Structure 1
């Protein structure tokens, strides 16, 4: 049995959502952040040395890193769904946007989150440079979604699951005003309209307000 080890308000929501989209059987084990440090509990470090979520276990396998887990589940359980293959015209776009989230957008948000906690003034050159990177990343997403309904093109794919966390729950850690991005706002409404997303969030983070606007 595939088990998803899920930490509240974390990237592991991607894995729960993917399993719901694919309609595959899985067990869900919840973990709670330390109330003082807001970090993962010791139980996750006992499961995997990195001590963070997501982690999956299956038939003796222990695997971490959300992108790696996504690719593993798609390859083992996806049956060709949600991941266009090499012959598909959207293959290159899918690959780019699947890796864009953790390669570009989320690091930019993470750096701004840390800089914000350092209380650097708004005119600090490092803060300005990092804000510029984040603005460019969001601008690129906005341009893409103004042209197509989903990141890879006309079809919903795992690339959309990857970026969903970053554009929603990640904003609990680094608030981003999406008001200037109408295409992103419309996209978030499309995500919120997916039954699998709603099921995943209700199971993984019940009661949490979904940042879809």
Structure 2
């Protein structure tokens, strides 16, 4: 039996979605974040040394990292290759987006979130204006000039077909779902209508809704 070590409000939500798409049975082990630091609990380190989620166990195997988990589950259980193209440009595009999500897009979104939270952090009152100014400058001069072209590129791709690789859902969409949902919580994405459509498609997908019902309420903030 597959066991998902599921941290609330984390990337592990998309692993639940994948499992629901594959119609696989799984056990859910839930972990709560620290209410002050939002960090994962120390108990997760008993499953994987870094104490991060998602992590799954399948028999004697322990697999961490979203992309690695996705590839493992598809290799073993997606025997009809329903969620991964089998050849040609579609397969290359699939691999690109599977790695783009965490390799290119998510690091900028994490930086964006950290910069947004700095002015809200406890500090002497006379430091706050300086911290806010520095935070805004980093976002304005470094993060947004790199983030907006990525989102514009995604917008163009989603203007060409329904999902990120084509007109059928693939695991690349599942991998991309988290950073694009995170984008909508950290910048104004109304200028990217195709991206907004994608997020709505994700959140209304029956298997996604089953995953939410199983894993609990979800927010990327």
The structure 1 residue matched to 2:161, chosen from 139, 148, 153, is: 148
- Indicate conservation of the 8 Å contact 2:4/2:56, yes or no: yes
Q: How does 1:80-91 map to 2 (within 5 A)?
A: 80-85=81-86, 87-91=87-91
- Indicate conservation of the 8 Å contact 1:150/1:160, yes or no: yes
- Indicate conservation of the 8 Å contact 2:10/2:220, yes or no: no
Q: Does 1:201 align with 2:212?
A: yes
- Whose helix proportion is higher, 1 or 2? 2
> For residues 58 and 78 of structure 1, what CA distance do their matches in structure 2 show?
15
> TM-score, normalising length from structure 2?
0.86
> For residues 24 and 179 of structure 2, what CA distance do their matches in structure 1 show?
24
> For residues 96 and 205 of structure 2, what CA distance do their matches in structure 1 show?
23
Structure number with larger C-alpha Rg: 2
**In the alignment, which residue of structure 2 is the partner of 1:124?**
137
**In the alignment, which residue of structure 2 is the partner of 1:23?**
23
> For residues 210 and 33 of structure 1, what CA distance do their matches in structure 2 show?
13
> For residues 117 and 219 of structure 2, what CA distance do their matches in structure 1 show?
23
Provide the aligned length of Structure 1 versus Structure 2. 207
| Structure 1: unaligned runs, 5 residues or longer | none
> For residues 101 and 24 of structure 2, what CA distance do their matches in structure 1 show?
24
**In the alignment, which residue of structure 1 is the partner of 2:63?**
63
The structure 2 residue matched to 1:158, chosen from 171, 174, 180, is: 171
> For residues 118 and 102 of structure 1, what CA distance do their matches in structure 2 show?
23
Q: Does 1:105 align with 2:105?
A: yes
| Structure 2: unaligned runs, 5 residues or longer | 120-131
Cα RMSD, aligned residues only? 2.1
> For residues 136 and 210 of structure 2, what CA distance do their matches in structure 1 show?
43
> TM-score, normalising length from structure 1?
0.89
